[in-house]
Amino acid sequence: MSVRELVVLGTASQVPTRHRNHNGYVLRWDGEGILFDPGEGTQRQMLRAGVAAHDLNRICVTHFHGDHSLGLAGVIQRINLDRVPHPVAAHYPRSGQRFFDRLRYATAYRETAEIVPAPVDADGVVADTGAYTLHAARLSHPVESYGYRLVEPDGRRMVPERLAAHGIKGPDVGRLQRDGVLGGVTLDDVSEVRRGQRFAFVMDTRLCDGVYALADGCDMLVIESTFLDEDTALAEEHGHLTAGQAARVARDAGVGHLVLTHFSQRYTDPGEFERQARAAGFDGDLTVAHDLLRVPLPKRRP
Ligand SMILES: [Zn+2]
């Protein structure tokens, strides 16, 4: 069975706390694993969360601040130590190439695995696997930052009642799917569009066009809410979002499941992030992330 879920490895901004590791998130998408923003301690959090180096096919880094990237050194060495047999793509802002290179070669180790750097320097598609396209969009932060958006192409679902009404069965179903038409019956007559799922990862940014473009129509949006609304000025100054800002983005974008994360250590009550997100008018599924949480992608929309 295909599994689509978010595995939360860490949820702290800037510095880890007693209860929160630096950032780190793995999106399990059918057979693939995409690691987002591995902060310090990610290798151990993967162990605790049951994610192996072999599970990773892709790494996406939004920007080169330590809480989003210091874990690259350990994770890349672990991928090599475990002799992961498949290539692992790595996306990150091209302006941070020197940071990526340093982290990749931070200490001596034996290279056995194929890490495939694919730096990002513009908005657009950064990978197309057939199963999904991965898009990047520029965010607004003191250092260059890109958010990511994964889009599954729309598919088609055959409707059994319509097939039966046209008397199409057995191998003819496959013929119709392949050729698009069979004896005057078209694919449209017997099937409906199955909307592809969309996931977005938005870290370390002020409100900007990229945030809205990434969030648009997402089944799941993982987004930073470093600050609470009373600290909006501080958020703007440091290039971050508040809980209310993130929730309004999700509301306006029609997000199915909103995951708030990347919390400042100044706050002690995670419940306040939820209250402010609800007060901002977001009424979909809402998760205030904590370490080692697993959040399944919502069911397909009709
Ligand atoms: Zn951060």
CA of 152 to the centre of ligand 1 (A): 27
Q: Which residues pair with 242 in a beta bridge?
A: 227
Cβ burial 79-109 (10 Å sphere, 16+ → b, else e): bbeeebeeebbbbbbeebeebbeebbeeeee
Q: Concatenated DSSP letters for 254-272?
A: T-SEEEEE-B-TT---THH
CA of 226 to the centre of ligand 1 (A): 8
Digit-by-digit pLDDT tens for the chain (302 residues) are 579 999 999 999 999 999 999 999 999 999 999 999 999 999 999 999 999 999 999 999 999 999 999 999 999 999 999 999 999 999 999 999 999 999 999 999 999 999 999 999 999 999 999 999 999 999 999 999 999 999 999 998 899 999 999 999 999 999 998 998 998 999 999 999 999 999 999 999 999 999 999 999 999 999 999 999 999 999 999 999 999 999 999 999 999 999 999 999 999 999 999 999 999 999 999 999 999 999 999 998 77
pLDDT of 300 reads: 87
How far is residue 190's CA from residue 169's CA, in Å, rounded to a whole number?
A: 11
pLDDT of 1 reads: 55
CA of 86 to the centre of ligand 1 (A): 29
CA of 88 to the centre of ligand 1 (A): 23
Entry pTM: 0.94
Residues involved in catalysis: 67
CA of 224 to the centre of ligand 1 (A): 8
